[in-house]
Amino acid sequence: MDVELIFKIAAVGIIVSILNQVLVRSGREEQATMTSLAGVIVVLIILVQKIAQLFDLVKSLFNF
């Protein structure tokens, strides 16, 4: 597993949590929820790309 992947996910989490706290304290709960949802979607996109790379590696390994 690549350490950069963990750092990317952690960076997205930190940025989203800071934005979430700022938006909640300013009274914008809906935007805070959307920001959290966007962060989850970004992390899922990153993970799906890595899983696709894993499947391509397995496919080439077994010559399918």
Domain limits at 47? 3-61
Q: How many domains does the chain have?
A: 1
- Comparing 31 with 63, the larger pLDDT belongs to 31
Quick one: pLDDT band at residue 1, thresholds 50, 70, 90? Answer: low
Q: How confident is the model at residue 2 (pLDDT cuts 50, 70, 90)?
A: confident
Angstrom CA distances, 14 to 7, 19, 22, 54, stand at 10, 9, 12, 27
Amino acid 7: pLDDT = 96
